[in-house]
Chain A
Amino acid sequence: MKKRRASPFTEFKYFLSEGVLSVLTHGLMSFAAITVIAACLLITATFMLVSYNIDVQIGKLQNRDQIVVYIDEELSRDDGLALESKILAVDNVQSAEFVTKEEFFDAFVAQLGDDADVVESMRDDNPLRDSFRVYMKDIDKHAETLKALEAIDGIADSNSDVELSERLVQLRSVVRTVCYSLIILLGAVSLFIISNTVKLALFARREEIQIMKMVGATNAFIRAPFVVEGLILGVTASVFVFSAQWIIYNYVTKRIAAGSNVLETVPFEAFRYPLALWLLVAGVALGLLGSVFTIRRYMKV
């Protein structure tokens, strides 16, 4: 005899409606759970975005970052040019570009624009020195690279933004540490909250569960609505956080742009899809883990 069976769609509809019903039945607890999970996700996401912005800033600095090393005036131009091989031999040096003192003077004059007349008279007695513009592979090693370059015989002086880049790298490492700690700490808080909400739902429906067991419902069938409930809590918090982050981020970056033209921020649109995906994955993972652990612990079938 062929066994009658509800379609998977019918069963899914049932689990979904039972999950939604359970969330609504414990409206206050569900609201509290969603709020706490959302707060956790919002804090974590904010730190991630700050970290991302610093990364982008460092990247930009890396692109234009260079060390200018000046060649001792006592060296002939040919001897100065010969230093290129020594500079390229330094660890972390990507490339080096020779700039004559005349080119440098021209660039300086161009930079001055209308005020160029002041220095134009000095052209014949150019006080500048020939130099190399040195590009690095990794900005994190800025300080060591600079030291190594300065140690080369024939290099008289140097000029770079070593402090700024070092500070940014330090800041990035602090923000990353905070970020990872928060992911662990607030993730644990969210799991605890989801677990408690599901525990409450289990408790409220213990009779129903008992009856379902007695009539031969499978474990998966009994557990599914509670897993759905956990998922609803996690995903609702994610959706809420994405919208809140969008509004807050745009507001803050606008304020930063209005207050300073030094700090540059990445527009929200540049990372909204990865952020949405990350939040969704985090919401689903928290919902699944929180509910499955609780069910396994408290529902012996």
Chain B
Amino acid sequence: MEFAWTPEHRAFRQRLRDVLAANLPDNWPVVSNGYDNGSDASVAFSRKFCPILAEEGLLIPHWPKENGGGGLDAFHHWILGEEMWGVGEPRAYQYMSINWVGPAIIKFGTPEQQAEHLPRICGGTISYCQGFSEPGAGSDLAALRTRAEPTGDGRYIVNGQKIWTSAASFADACILLARTGAERHAGISMFIVPMDLPGITVRVIPGMQGERAMHEVFFDDVEVGPECLLGTENGGWKVATEVLANERIGVPRYALTWRGFNKALEHLRLDGRLENAAIRARAARCEAALKAARLAALGVINARIHHRPADVSVNVARYAAVWADRQVVEFLGDFAGDLLFYDVDAVVTAAYKRATSIGIGAGAAEVQLNLVSRNLLQMPRGNA
């Protein structure tokens, strides 16, 4: 076991910091509307910034070279995530392309799909949204009802509604789960659908997590061609499982929480509050939880590097991250309520705001516990 970064990892982090320092607008926490990666300013900046990262070889350092990546190990991917998420994600929602949409296309896409999508992902010029959740299918994702009716000549007619979809109003394409058969899991297919197709309507849902973080997306007789099917017809659950494994440990969410937490501690130290022994103890306990979340996530990345398939350690790590964020939110609420305003400290407030959603997005915390129970503890299934 070795718990230290190599000189290459450290140099990579430093390069990222240099590029961020050279490119992030002055007063970025405020310009980005409190690290809101759905804000106009953030999305506009991401369209300029992602091609710069691509140019510098920093956008997709960890993909295989034959797919347009840098061929570096997965810890580089994680360092990239920490540095970006920790400053409010200046890639806006393009992290999704890099973390899980692209890998799914590499694994399940046809040569034509790869030729169409991968160069745009690698160039930082395409943004996706994720059409998974529905009004009646959230944690119970396989209950989804959006239907893609085969027309018999390879095309599909899509009807249904997606909800809570992040970035839908400015994404170029949607990875869409839709029902093509009757069977619960084996009747679902995955599509990549351009968002400008006739019949797609998007409505923004104003939300606590930021601008354009949640939408409703309606599909009314949307015609999609066979080129949109990712994987096989009725084979979408496998693709979705892969996507979710990458999504659950795809974003180092603790990175922003930790930076916000540390910034709060600076305030508390400056005004003397941190001299209180009770506050100091609570702070250190938050730090232990954050560190545990980071170690658990790095353990998942470590397994990727050793070519082991994703397993229940993903769910364990995700719950550790939820736990850490909860500790920090409670700490800030208990001791630093006066800091939680954008004009007092945009970073602390952004971290506080974001942390509330960590146990909900990408599979509720309780779903993670179900999976830990089933796959790690191998508990029996029951009626209650």
Q: Say if A and B assemble together.
A: no
A residues contacting B by CB (< 8 A) are: none
B residues contacting A by CB (< 8 A) are: none
